[in-house]
Amino acid sequence: MDPVPNTCVIFDIDGTLVDSDGFEDALYRTALREVLGDVRLRASWAEYDNVTDAGLLRQICADNGLSASRAETSVRTRFGELVSAQLQTTESCSSTAGALAVWDELRADDRFALGIATGGWGHTTRMKLDAAGFSHEGIVLRCSDDSHVRTQIMAACRTALPPTDHTVYVGDGLWDLAAANSLGWRFIGVGQRLHGRCPRWIPDFLSSSFHDAFLSGFN
């Protein structure tokens, strides 16, 4: 086996590796309300320029005439407390179907350099990875603590990894697809939200579909 990685694979977290849809959004909104009060929010996150934990907060503060620099530490801390409490419950955070096996397999394969780039803050990202059982020690992880702009987070992750022939981003959101396209990366869409939206798509990480989309689809 070639000991030098020739493909960099960078994963999104929420909805891609971990099933956090059931609480992530609600707890973020709770943290916003508790810290900022009854601020006005746009109709959907898609109406914000940067759908990242820090990016949303900045624009919400701007929309409501508040100082984001003063609010960020408080909202980030409160959100972390809420997620931590959530992960103590029986309705914790599990990996998406097949994701743990694929993760472990790619980690053990020298042909791949693995990274994580997420729009979430780092503290909650690590909590969720731990709760879902992902082994991530030594893995390059870039997040909303590094930048509030998704493409900058992804680019920072890529820069921290060894040079490779190809870079692939794996995500579940339209913003993931758009960011990968703007960086000129290959993309694998996961889950129903991207069904029919991108050339390389898998419903989940079960069976051999990920490897088919990956190994045969790009070569």
Q: Which is nearer to Mg ion, 109 or 204 (CB)?
A: 204
- Closest contact distance (angstroms) between CB of 3 and Mg ion is 32
Strand order in the sheet with 166-171: 140-142, 112-117, 7-11, 166-171, 186-190, 201-202
d(CA 117, CA 14): 11
Tokens of 50: 């940067």
Our CB check for Mg ion shows the closer of 24 and 72 to be 24
Give the SS3 label for residue 188: strand
Using CB positions, name the residue nearest to Mg ion: 15
End-to-end CA distance of the chain: 17
Smallest gap from Cβ 86 to Mg ion, in A, equals: 17
Of 88, 177, 169, 172, the C-alpha closest to 128 is 88
- Least distance in angstroms from the C-beta of 205 to Mg ion: 14
For the CB of residue 6, give the shortest distance to Mg ion in the complex, in Å: 26
Of 61 and 170, nearer to Mg ion (C-beta) is 170
> Which spans of this chain sit near Mg ion (rule: CB under 5 A)?
12, 14-15, 172-173
Q: Which is nearer to Mg ion, 5 or 120 (CB)?
A: 120
